[in-house]
Amino acid sequence: MDHVAIIYKRARPEAAELASKLASWLQNRHIDVFCRENVGSADITCDVPAIEIPPENQLVIVIGGDGTFLSVARFLCARSTPIVGINLGGLGFLTEVTTADCCRELERILAGDFIIEERMRLRVVIMREGREYFSHSVLNDVVINKGALARIIELKTTIDGHYLTHYRADGLIVATPTGSTAYNLSAGGPIMVPSAHAIILTPICPFTLANRPLILPAHVTVSIEPEGQVRRLTLSCDGQVGCALTPSDRIVICADANPVRCVKTPSVDYFEILRSKLKWGQN
């Protein structure tokens, strides 16, 4: 491994400081380093800035939190470059390495003591007036909901062309197993091991309590059509980029062909992170 990229959380001096130290640490091991502050920002817009990470980089190190990791995964949506995340706080579901352990874990990675865990993504497409209007890849979730007004929306949902239901709810989350511990979890959805292959449908505060979360196989195509009064309805991808919806839109969601490739060392235990984040077994 002789080319490594470092992307660090913007507007955080401690992130810039750690990035500089790691860049020097890698350069002392004769590794070329591409180091940049993250430019991604959460905004419902189709025009999102991106960092052009040079293709010769064999690893991308993300310094920040899970939001920074999601934006870097977006920059690499068409590439197979592996990613490892360093969390500035404690532990993250995506940024799994702590700052205290980062040099030790990077030593292991440089020595080849790691595995690649593939995490499925979703591809979401908005069809408008018979044409593709918007297309995006997501690692966590696609969320359809209203703006500031708390009104129930109605979403006709089909699976592989077969009618499923009309969701009447505050919104709908379509999540990956990786995203199962994000908004999906807050809305009462199930937790799934992130390496699993599945699509989760979780209504947000459904009007009918019988509308429960549903786990679907990864090979299906989910089609969603807003019905009734559609005003200020938005679709967001990983909470970072999205699009305002119109009454004629049809949202098509399926598994993306390009998974995210996460670097895992033997000392990183997903279930330990799960226990820590959710405080299982703590009084």
Structure tokens at 266: 């033997």
If you average pLDDT over residues 247-251, what whole number do you get? 93
- The active-site residue, picked from 43, 47, 66, 141, is 66
Q: How far apart are CA 116 and CA 261, in angstroms?
A: 6
> 24-33, 178-187, 230-239 — which is least confidently predicted?
230-239
Interval 98-148: pLDDT, tens: 999 999 999 999 999 999 999 999 999 999 999 999 999 999 999 999 866
* pLDDT number for residue 149: 60
Interval 9-43: pLDDT, tens: 998 999 999 999 999 999 999 999 999 999 855 55
Is residue 153 within 8 Å of residue 173, measured between CB atoms?
no
66 catalytic? Reply is yes
Residue 257's closest CA among 228, 218, 224? 218
If you average pLDDT over residues 261-273, what whole number do you get? 92
Instruction: Give the chain's domains with CATH numbers.
Output: 3-119+259-278 (3.40.50.10330), 122-255 (2.60.200.30)
> 51-60, 228-237, 246-255 — which is least confidently predicted?
228-237
53 has which bridge partners? Answer: none
Kindly report the number of other CB atoms within 10 A of residue 52's CB atom: 8
If you average pLDDT over residues 54-60, what whole number do you get? 96
Q: pTM of this prediction?
A: 0.93
